[in-house]
A and B are shown apart, each in its own frame.
Chain A
Amino acid sequence: MTIAPFIRTRLLGRVNVRTVTLAHGGGGKAMKDLIDDVFVGAFDNAALAPLEDQARFDLAELAAHGDRLAFTTDSFVVDPLFFPGGDIGKLAVCGTVNDLAVGGAKPLYLSCAAIIEEGVTIDLLRQVAGSMAKTAKEAGVKIVTGDTKVVGKGACDKLFLTTTGIGVIREGVVLGAHLARPGDVVMVNGLLGDHGAAILIARGDMALETPIESDCAPLQRLIDSLLTAAPGIRFLRDATRGGLATVLNEVADASQVAIEIEEAAIPIREEVKAFCEILGLDPLYLANEGKIVIIAPSEEAEAALTAMRAHPLGARAGVIGRVSAGEPGWVTMRTVFGGRRIVDMLVGEQLPRIC
């Protein structure tokens, strides 16, 4: 690990206890030791190193990437903290990186605020910080400022993270939910529903054993090559909470167009289908953490697909439907069976059906 030169000149604090106590939130030496040991060491970069109250950027350097700033924030309260395919740290980086990337931005800097419940082990924090650092490296972003708070037992569930991100949007890229036009093609970059299913199963309530892993991944490289190959793309969004169905409804509404999808074309893993079948859930509403919905003019669809399929996170990319001039705001699906039904917004949380 290369520690920035500035840090080498001061001694990083060390935590010598096993668990976090309220003392670690007190603003004194215990807190400094925790931040140094767990976060500064892991995140390791020049902007964070001075531990000022803010990170500072050179404007000219930012402007070299494009002509607009993108700025976003997201909180992460996932239960359990560790699940097949990821953990809260990886999720917190990917979530914010992807929220920047789907706006056409190159993600550059993240902040990280942690709310920690007393009693959480230092090892757990180290694991999460390590995972954040690894994912940030993969995503080409730096975690440059942060905050920690410790709260009493029961005031939060082990660990909550908030990440905020800054990116720069490249010149000429204009994406928006209101830009879909009849004739456009709707695509996704791969198998849907893995994250939602993996989390529900990882909670252990159902005593199901499956090989399903969260699809949690940073998508900025995929999106970068996508936008290069198909610069006319109208809209990108990561299909997180609420899943594919929610994103499509948002676009249909914002653009005042109809969207028609083909159930048979929607890529869903057999295990996820079976999981949904058992619980009476609809995979169209399951959360994803590494999947985007793409709307592109039809003449660019082929180029977009080729670009995505060349990337490991887009290997299963495909066209799932079209934008049409039908009833504005409607999303409909041609079912595998040949019928047609409306795919509406979900009202509340999906709850398993009784029988």
Chain B
Amino acid sequence: MKYVDEFRDGAKARILVREIESLVATMGVPDDRPLHIMEVCGGHTHSIFRYGIEGMLPKEIELVHGPGCPVCVLPIGRVDDCVSIAERPEVIFTTFGDAMRVPGSKKSLLQAKADGADVRMVYSPMDALTVARNNPERDVVFFGLGFETTMPSTALTILQAEGDGIRNFSVFCNHITIVPTIKAILDSPDLKLDGFLGPGHVSMVIGAAPYEFVANFYRKPMVIAGFEPLDILQSIWMVLQQIKEGRADIENQYARIVPDDGNAPALRAISRVYELREFFEWRGLGSIDHSGVKLRDNYASFDAERKFAVPNVKIADPEACQCGEVLKGVIKPWQCKVFGSACTPEMPLGALMVSSEGACAAHYQYGGVKQHVAAE
């Protein structure tokens, strides 16, 4: 595939790995305290496992897989709300595929579908709007999910529905925002991170400026990274270079996609349709102030939360779950008490085992449980 294969070139990868090795060799990294670099975004986690990048890096570097998988961090209570909307007889509930498996307290959307709810997988919110157009007698709900990456497409769909006068369409809004979440991680007292790979697709929308506080206030280097394996290796090299030089800057490795100022029309759509919530609940991380958005009052008629009076119950994460510690890099996935035993991709207990972008599921599927069991 042109424009993709170039970024997966094994020969170039070997050169970059050698560069990383020789850079690290000059840094005097102690054996018992490797450098912890967090990739914030689940897309990065997926690439890292898919291409076996961790195994190519010198032992002085440990990657910490961050909270950037929107499917994983969805709390149990919100899934229950989804199920309660989906089970209403008048509703067609539309969702991205990988959200269907997220466990609620009683069932996932996949189980609700098996029990008779009309749950349909779509590939974009515009597809959901088409379902609404084609089924005027039903109430079509789209499960709005994701960071700033998917926020604009949901917003534009709502604007389109408004323009076309479609009344039987609404959004169950669970969009979340990345900046307060990075801040919450940085404020954590048990923080062990030395640098960040910044999210690529989110930054394509919001640009590089919103991360300035990471460098200025917390003095941590961040490199906004692309998703191909060469992007990731180069970004790791750039983070290391900053650490070596004692710098903390926001650098943009993914400049071919990410403009420094973001995408103005997308940002306009976001601010027109959404406003910040006081707080939003995250699986594994708890409640984080201003980390979620809801629809503004002008768009109340498209807000499934208001249309269907969802129960909005809060349900605590299972106690055995150590997702929060994994997310913050305090422990590795396989060090969690329930990893691979009570918590598996078939029966996920914690958020990170849910989607293939979750750190635990990725470890389990791609590199995971067998290796660590064998190593013990």
Q: Provide the bound-state CA to CA distance between A206 and B96, in Å.
A: 12
Chain B residue with minimal CB distance to A355? B149
The minimal Cβ–Cβ distance linking B178 to chain A, given in whole angstroms, is 12
**Chain B: interface residue total (CB-CB under 8 A):** 53
Cβ of B53 under 8 Å from chain A: yes
Looking at chain A's contact residues, the main secondary structure is loop
Please report which residues of chain B, range 82-114, place their CB below 8 angstroms from some CB of chain A when the two chains form the complex.
Answer: 96-101, 110
The minimal Cβ–Cβ distance linking A221 to chain B, given in whole angstroms, is 33
A341-B96 in contact given A273-B1, A353-B46 (Cβ < 8 Å):
no
Contact B150 A354 (CB under 8 A): yes
Q: Provide the bound-state CA to CA distance between A293 and B1, in Å.
A: 25
The minimal Cβ–Cβ distance linking A68 to chain B, given in whole angstroms, is 36
The minimal Cβ–Cβ distance linking A27 to chain B, given in whole angstroms, is 32
Q: Provide the bound-state CA to CA distance between A280 and B96, in Å.
A: 12
Cβ of A58 under 8 Å from chain B: no
Contact B10 A205 (CB under 8 A): no
Name the contact of A341 in the complex, choosing from B51, B147, B344, B346 (C-beta under 8 A).
B51
A274-B97 in contact given A335-B52, A339-B53, A341-B51 (Cβ < 8 Å):
no
A339-B371 in contact given A205-B121, A344-B365 (Cβ < 8 Å):
no
A-B contact count (CB 8 A): 111
A residues in contact with B98, CB < 8 Å? 280, 351-354
Name the contact of B8 in the complex, choosing from A282, A336, A340, A342 (C-beta under 8 A).
A336
Q: Provide the bound-state CA to CA distance between A282 and B147, in Å.
A: 24
In addition to A337-B13, A337-B229, 16 A-B residue pairs with Cβ atoms within 8 Å of each other are: A277-B1, A279-B123, A327-B374, A335-B52, A335-B229, A337-B10, A338-B13, A339-B52, A339-B53, A341-B52, A341-B367, A342-B368, A347-B346, A353-B357, A355-B146, A355-B150
Q: Which residues of A contact B (CB under 8 A)?
A: 205-206, 264, 270, 273-274, 277, 279-280, 282, 327, 329-330, 335-342, 344, 347-348, 351-355
CB<8 Å pairs between A and B, sample of 23: A205-B127, A277-B4, A280-B46, A327-B370, A330-B370, A335-B50, A337-B8, A337-B10, A337-B13, A337-B51, A337-B53, A337-B230, A338-B17, A339-B52, A339-B229, A342-B366, A344-B368, A347-B346, A351-B97, A353-B98, A353-B355, A354-B99, A355-B201
Q: Which residues of B contact A (CB under 8 A)?
A: 1, 4, 8-10, 13-14, 17, 43, 46, 49-56, 70-71, 96-101, 110, 121-123, 127, 145-147, 149-150, 201, 229-230, 344-346, 355-357, 364-368, 370-371, 374
